[in-house]
Amino acid sequence: MNERSLRAVDNADPEPEHDAPRGAGSLREIVMGAQDNLTTVLAVVLGVAVGTGEARTVALAGLASGVAEAISMAGVLYTSTRAERDLASNNGERGPRSEPIVAGAVTFAAAIVAAMIPLAPFAFLPLRWAMAAAAFLSVVALFGLGAWTGGVTRRSRWQAGLRFVLIGGFAALGSALVGTALRTHA
């Protein structure tokens, strides 16, 4: 065996663990797509709602942001997974297990579903109620996503849930402050 073959054998994955947590296979893709788009769309709809006071503008901005972010995140996961594989291959190592196209597709799906959570209330409720519902639903969803992540990674579900909520909360607060500062309505 040559040196490259020996390195490949040394770097080969051990036998897969049979007690791997459920959901661990797409954890990165789901978290990146869902957490990012849920946080971004929540921040956009709250900031635009505070700034304009117009439900139609809020819905347009939230939908455009959610679709653009889902496409962008899918592309990022595809290209980053592809780059990781190419780098590993060029170094004679084994790359990430996930297929780049699958990583992108899972991220896109998670991002689209997550975007609908803060956006949906604006289709059914008056602006003030929609803002409150979007914030409430998003906090619950962020906590749930964080708690699920904590369970998959065998960490504290409470700490992970709170971490996700704090990140989303800071983004929403920042956007609401921008909306307040640049308010276009009385």
How many separate domains does the chain show? 1
- Asked, for residue 61, whether it belongs to a domain, the answer is yes
d(CA 123, CA 142): 21
Is residue 103 a part of any domain in this protein?
A: yes
In a domain, residue 56? The reply is: yes
- Closest CA relative to residue 144, chosen from 165, 123, 168: 165
Residue 15, domain member (yes or no): no
Tell whether 18 is covered by a domain.
no
Q: Are 32 and 114 in contact (CB under 8 A)?
A: no
Q: What domain range is 128 assigned to?
A: 26-181
- The pTM score is 0.84
Residue with tokens 């975007």, as numbered in its chain:
115
Whether 1 maps to a domain, the answer reads: no
Q: Does 16 reside within a domain? A: no
Q: Is the separation of the CB atoms in 138 and 169 below 8 Å?
A: no
Compute the distance between CA of residue 59 and CA of residue 44 in angstroms, rounded to an integer: 10
171: nearest Cα among 52, 81, 37, 76: 37
In a domain, 51, yes or no: yes
Digit-by-digit pLDDT tens for the chain (186 residues) are 444 444 443 444 433 444 556 656 799 999 999 999 999 999 999 999 999 999 999 999 999 999 999 999 999 999 999 999 899 889 888 877 779 999 999 999 999 999 999 999 999 999 999 999 999 999 999 999 999 999 999 999 999 999 999 999 999 999 999 999 999 876
